[in-house]
Structure formats: C-alpha cells, structure tokens
Amino acid sequence: MLRVGLVGSGFMARTHLERYRSMDDARVVAVASPNTAADFVAEHGLDADTFEDATTMMDADVDAVDVCSPTPTHRPLVEAAAARDLDVLCEKPIALTLEDANAIARAAADAGITLLVGHVLRFFPDYAAIRRSIADGAVGEVGTVRARRVSPFPDWAPWYADADRSGGVLHDLAIHEFDFCRWAVGDVERVFAREHRSDGNHRGLATLVFESGAVGYVDAGWDRPPGGDLTSEFEVAGDEGLLEYDGADGQPLAIDTRGDGEPLPPPVERDGYRRQLDAFVDAVEGREEPAVTAEDAIEALRISLAARRSAASGESVAVSEVVA
Amino acid sequence: MTARLGIGSVAHLHADAYAEIMHDLDDVEFVGVADRDDGRGRDFAAEHDTAFHTRGGLLDAADGVVVCSTNADRGEWIRAAADAGVNVLSEKPLGTSAAEARELTDVCASAGVALSVAMPLRHSVPARQARERLDGLGDLTALSGANRGHFPGGWFADPERSGGGAVMDHTVHLVDLVHWLTGTRVASVYAETATRFTDAAVEDVNVLSMELEDGTPFLLDGSWSKPDEWESWGDAFLEVTGTDGVLSLDCFAQRFRVTRDEEPSGVSAVFYGTDPNRAMLERFVETIGGRGPATPGQDASEVLAVVDAAYASAAAGEPVEVDH
C-alpha cells in the first residue's frame, strides 16, 4: 500500500483523489495546502492528516508525493521530496523554466527516486489508441497533424490567468498536445505560434514542423464561453490514410431525465487519470519504468517555450535553440 | 430573362457540377462548352448532353461563360471573353497572382463585361447566416479553419499549368470567406508547406498561420490531405471566436453516409444542404442582368495577395506582410 501525500486542493487534486479512492495499492493519507487542506479533507470525507506546509507533510509518514499545485511550486516540492527519498508524481507542465525542469530531473536522478510527470493524455484510452494506430502504420508516413483542445477559461484558480505563474495557454494547455504529438509522431524541429490574450479569453495557435518533415498544428484555447465543456480533436493524415478523432463522439451512454440527473462516470473501467496513477504505482513498485520520464517532460516544455518565444518574437523558433 | 451560359474550358473538375446545374436552372439556356483539347471537350459535351464549340463559337452563343480552365489559361480565356463582350464567372483563383488578378479585373472593366469569381462559400446558407450573426461575438479574438481535399492530380500537380499546389488551390476559399465575413483582410502570413502525400512537383501540405489587419490570429489548414477513399471531396469549416462567444461554421456538415458492398463500394457522404454552386450560378445570371458581381475581381486579387505572401513566406521561412 503506497501512502500518498497529496499537495494541492484544487481541481487536479480532486481529480486524482477520486481515482485513488478506488485503488487497492495506494491511498491518500495526507493532504498539504496552504489554507484549504482541512476543508478539502472534510469536503471529501477523507481520513487523512492535513498540513499547511508540504515539506512538513513530507517529514510525516508518507511514501510518495503527488504534486498538484501551481507550476512554479514544482521545483522546490520535487527537490524536497527527492531529499527525503520520496517518489513523486508531478503534474504537468514540469516547470515554467528549463532551468527549473533540469533541476527537477537532476534532483530525481541523484536521489534515485521515481518521478513521473503527469502528461495524462498518454494514459487516456483514446489517445493511447491513436498512438498505437499511428505506430502500427494506420496512416502510413505522416504528412499533417491537427491537434486541438479548447475549454472555458480555468477560472477555478487565479494562478492560471497570471502568465508569470501558468505561462498562459501555450504553456499550460498546449503542452498536452505538444507532448502527445512528440510521443505519437516524433520530435519537433521548429515552431511558429500566435496568441490572443484578453481578459478570460486566451488562445494559442502553433504550427509545428517535425524532424520527419511532417507539418502539424496545435490549436489550444481557454476561450469558450463559461460553463462549456472541454473539447478535444486529433487528426493525422499520412500517405496511406487518415485518422480522425473527435472527443465529442464516442459517448456510449446518455441519460436524459426530467430534473437534475447524476453525472455519469467515465465510460471505461479505468480512465486516463486512473491509468496514470496505476502507472505511477507500478513504477514505484518497480514493475514498470515510468511511462513519462523527466526527459519527456523537458522536451515537451522546450516545445512550449519555443511556441511562447515565437509568439513573442513573431519568428519561428527551432526547438534546438531552446537551451535555457 | 433567360441567360445563355456556356463553360469555357472543362479542365477544372468543377465543370461537371456547373453543367448539371445549368441544365437544371429554368432561366438558363446551357449553350455548350469549348475546350482547347478537342477530345476532352467533345467527351464532356456528349456526357452532359450539350454542344461543343470553338472558343469563338461559344463566345458568340453565350451571354456569360464560366471559365473552368487551368489556372494558367484563365487569363487568356477571360481576355477572349472580354473582347467578345461576354460576361465572366471565373473559377478560382483569378489567375495565379494578385498582379494578374488586378490586370484581369481591369480588362473586364474596360471591356464593360461583368466579372465575378467562383467563391461558392459566399452562397452557402449557413455561411450567410454566420455573416448575419457575427456581430454577436463581440471583438474578434481568433479564427481557426480548414479546407482540405484529396489530391486532385492532373494539371493541378503541374506547376506550369496550376501556378502552385495546395497553397494556390485551397487557400482562397477560407481566406475569401474570412474577408467577406469580417470585413477585415489578412495582413501577415507564415506558411509551412511540404509535399508529403504524393511525389508531386507541387506542395500538398498547406498550413498557414495568419494575422488579420486588426491583429486577430487566423490558422488555416488548406492541405490536400484527404485520402481518395474519404467519404467526401473534402471539407470547409471555420471557427470564429470573439470576446462574447464562438461561432462554428461547417459549410458541408449537412450530410449522411452511405456504405456499399457492391461496386462502387465503400463509404460516401451525401450532402443535403442548399447547394452553394447552384445559388452562385443563379446569382451570376442576376449579374449578367445588371446586378453587381457577388465576388468582384478586386476581392479575388486581395485573396491572391495572401497566396503570394504564403509562397513568399514558405520560401523565406518567416512571416510575410501581405501587399494589399
């Protein structure tokens, strides 16, 4: 039984907690959050210790730390966990800067801890199947890639709107697509990006050229009207075929009732978040290598940084130039 | 009034659809076709139950011609029609550069013949509804769209006759639609082009990252990336995001699918919306009758200026300002 200390009490902490609760081999035994840990534990009826300070929690009786706090906190938290020989699941993006990301990777390697970075799309049944299809030659040699993810502005926590803390939509949201594109199609050579930023409305449009010569684009938005759903689409065309995926399709169960119905659970036995936690436990227990390495997370970060630098400079940016 | 319409050159694959509509329209007398290739022209005339003429013969018999030549031959056809005092609906693009489009516009104006350019999306019912409702979106924040097709082959892949590949063929519809919807032109283009799906001498990948004059980013995928076996000829959709909402326009969404075991086997989609080509030809009849053109040459030259900039960007590897 892996005794997990959860850092954070926001949307992602809740998302993870809901999955831990159905797991036999891991349990959230402690929650750390500056002001809201006690409320979080009470709200979820959780039997867990609460801490205002995450490092104090790490000194208590936990085996692993699940870092669901804002991006700039990742480096000190992972370093503190590594110093205590605690394994870490760290939310994406790994960090805001390459310097912080490298420090995280170094700390984990030096301490010999398991570090898995939460590029959760790799664990989603849909995205995992897309990657397998491409690898199996479904479309032949890849020509174009279309990756899209749009949602309302994440207004549940103020740090998203602060570009100094979240990096904005090209950093925090588009990095899902950057990592997945790299995993499914290959390394990216250069990026050109444009951005729109206004109050509660943030969009990033990035073109990618892969080292293979394939051309792709990532369309990421926090610009849907409030209350809307997150939607995602992925398409890859090759010289032998076309793969089209729309996340809005594939709803195997719909229930319409008079009055408010209970929301339906994910229509799979284990959804992407659960599969990610299982992969983390497997890695900690030595059954599997971490499915997303620090190096993977750093490469995804470099694409995000290239996109942000391109949007700022108005020029295309080679990923190889992103070295600091 | 009844307008006497003909088709000047049947090189372009849209000629078949126009012929069927011309037969069908009550106020159109379909007087026939002409083509520099006798065999091709006669076969087309026989297949569509109409007359085959010399160019001079067709221009004598018609009040208006739809010029469906190769892109390279378009100017020669339009000049001949203008000389003969015959009104022109030109297949797109209006020549292969903005300079040529301006010249052809002047030629028609001097000759006193009407010139319109085949931009069927301006006649799409959902596109017209989108234009009515655009104000409700507030200030524009982002545009993202696609107009993909399968590889058309033939002269489209011969740069001498086409003037270019997917950039020349599949940029103009969505850029014209955006110009027409928003009243704002594309000011800057960054292009990623490649030849990935075939070994053609022209590009089949056309991914454009653009910016409108008001700074709104506009991403367009106009690649020839659809497999021949795909359910339809291609697609045309545009999402417009503003400070107050999102508009999603899919001009050919109204379709159902048919799957057949017997030849011709496979999956095909049947469009059941209002045919924009038919509305465009009806509108051309009104243009012959004295109403201004639906898509004047000036508008077509503004779109070709974007195409010029896209090719310049692809060559330079950096964004290029559009020379309006």
What does the pLDDT look like over A128-180, one tens digit per residue? 999 999 999 999 999 999 999 999 999 888 899 998 899 999 999 999 999 99
Task: Tell me: do A138 and A98 sit in the same domain.
Answer: no
In this prediction the pTM is: 0.95
Measured CA to CA, the distance from residue A294 to residue A165 in angstroms comes to 20
Mean model confidence pLDDT for chain A: 96
Do A233 and A133 fall within a single domain?
yes
When the pLDDT of each residue in chain B is averaged and rounded to a whole number, the result is 97
Residue A163 lies in a domain: yes
Q: Is A185 exposed, middle or buried (0-12, 13-18, 19+ CB in 10 A)?
A: buried
- Asked if residue B127 lies in contact with residue B119, where contact means CB atoms within 8 angstroms, the answer is no
* Residue range of the domain that includes A158: 122-270+301-321
Partner residue facing B142 (CB), from A205, A217, A239: A205
Which chain A residue lies closest to B195 (C-alpha atoms)? A143
Q: What is the pLDDT of residue B236?
A: 97
Q: Which of A144, A192, A198 sits opposite B205 (nearest CB)?
A: A144
Mean of the pLDDT values across residues A310-317?
A: 98
How far apart CA B95 and CA B106 sit, in angstroms, is 13
**From A146, A195, A316, residue closest to B317, measured CB to CB:** A316
Nearest-by-Cβ selection for B319 from A203, A242, A314: A314
Smallest CA–CA distance, residue A144 to chain B, in Å, is 7
Q: Is the domain of A140 the same as that of A248?
A: yes
Residues A132 and A101 in one domain: no
ipTM of the complex, rounded to two decimals: 0.92
Residues 6+ apart with CB under 8 A from B292: none
Query: Do A155 and A204 share a domain, yes or no?
Result: yes
**Contact at CB, A223 and B241, closer than 8 angstroms:** yes
Chain A residues with at least one Cβ partner in B under 8 Å: 141-144, 146, 148, 192-196, 198, 201, 203, 205, 207, 209, 213-217, 219, 221, 223-225, 237-242, 314-316
B142, B207, B227 ranked by CB distance to A221: nearest: B142
| Euclidean distance between CA atoms A221 and A236, whole angstroms | 20
Give the residue on A whose Cα is nearest the Cα of B145.
Answer: A219
Q: What pLDDT was estimated at residue B243?
A: 95
pLDDT computed for residue A131 by the predictor: 98
SS3 sequence of A183-207:
HHCCCEEEEEEEEEEECCEEEEEEE
Pair B281, B18: CB distance under 8 Å: yes
Q: Is the pLDDT of residue B1 over 90?
A: no
- Residue A15, in any domain of the structure: yes
Residue A56 sits in a domain whose CATH number is: 3.40.50.720
Chain A residues touching B148 at Cβ < 8 A: 237
Asked if pLDDT for residue B48 goes beyond 90, the answer is: yes
Q: Parallel, antiparallel, or unpaired: how do β-strands A115-118 and A87-91 relate? A: parallel
Could you tell me if B53 and B33 are in contact, meaning their C-beta atoms sit under 8 angstroms apart?
A: yes
Q: Domain B121-277+304-321's class? A: alpha beta
Q: Which of B186, B193, B197 to mutate to test the interface with A (most CBs of A within 10 A)?
A: B197
Same domain for A261 and A151?
yes
Chain A residues in contact with B226 (beta carbon < 8 A): 237, 242
Inter-chain CB proximity B227 and A242 less than 8 Å: yes
pLDDT digits (tens, 9 = 90+) for B79-88: 999 999 999 9
Classify residue A296: in a domain, yes or no: no
Backbone φ and ψ for B154, nearest 5 degrees, come out as 55, -140
Q: Return phi, psi of residue A204, to 5°.
A: -125, 130
CATH number for the domain harbouring residue A152 = 3.30.360.10
From chain B, the residues in CB contact with A201 under 8 A are: 141, 241, 243
The residues on B that touch A, with CB distances below 8 Å, are 141-142, 144, 146, 148, 190, 192-194, 196-198, 204-205, 207, 209, 211, 216-217, 219, 221, 223, 225-227, 230, 241, 243, 245-246, 317-319
| B198 interaction partners in chain A (CB closer than 8 Å) | 239
**Residue carrying the six token digits 């019912």:** B125
Range list of H helices, B158-243: 159-162, 166-170, 172-182
Residue pLDDT, tens place only, A191-243: 999 999 999 899 999 999 999 999 999 999 999 999 988 999 999 999 999 99
Residue A254's pLDDT is: 86
A190 and A311 inside one domain? yes
Widest pairwise Cα distance in chain A: 58
Q: Does A182 share its domain with A244?
A: yes
Do the bridges between strand B140-146 and strand B115-117 make them parallel or antiparallel, or are there none, so unpaired?
unpaired
Domain residue limits, chain B: 3-119, 121-277+304-321
Q: Are A160 and A83 contained in the same domain?
A: no
Q: Which tens digits make up the pLDDT trace of A80-133?
A: 999 999 999 999 999 999 999 999 999 999 999 999 999 999 999 999 999 999
Would you identify the CATH topology of the domain B3-119? Rossmann fold (3.40.50)
Mutate to test the interface with B, among A190, A192, A229 (most CBs of B within 10 A): A192
**Per-residue confidence (pLDDT) for residue A250, from 0 to 100:** 86
Which tokens hold the place of A280?
A: 């983390």
* In-domain check, residue A240: yes
Rounded distance between C-alpha atoms, residue A20 and residue A3, angstroms: 11
CA distance A277 to A18: 11
Count of structural domains, chain A: 2
Q: Is there a single domain that holds both residue A154 and residue A79?
A: no
Cα distance from N-terminal residue to C-terminal residue, chain B: 38
Q: Are residues A128 and A203 in the same domain?
A: yes
Between CA A73 and CA A220 the distance in angstroms is 24
Angle between helices A174-184 and A125-135 (to 10 degrees): 30
CB contact (8 A) between residue A207 and residue B144: no
Same domain (yes/no): A285, A251: no
**Backbone dihedral angles phi then psi of residue A120, each to the nearest 5 degrees:** -70, -20
**Is A87 part of a structural domain of the chain?**
yes
**What is the phi/psi pair of residue B90, to 5°?**
-95, 130
pLDDT in tens, B130-146: 999 999 999 999 999 99
Give residue-wise pLDDT tens across range A245-262. 999 988 888 888 888 788
pLDDT at A264 over 90: no
Closest partner residue to A192 (CB to CB) among B144, B190, B227 is B190
Separation CA A90–CA A72 (nearest Å)? 12
pLDDT grade, residue B24 (50/70/90)? very high
Integer distance in angstroms from the first to the last C-alpha of chain A?
39
Q: Which amino acid is at A67?
A: V
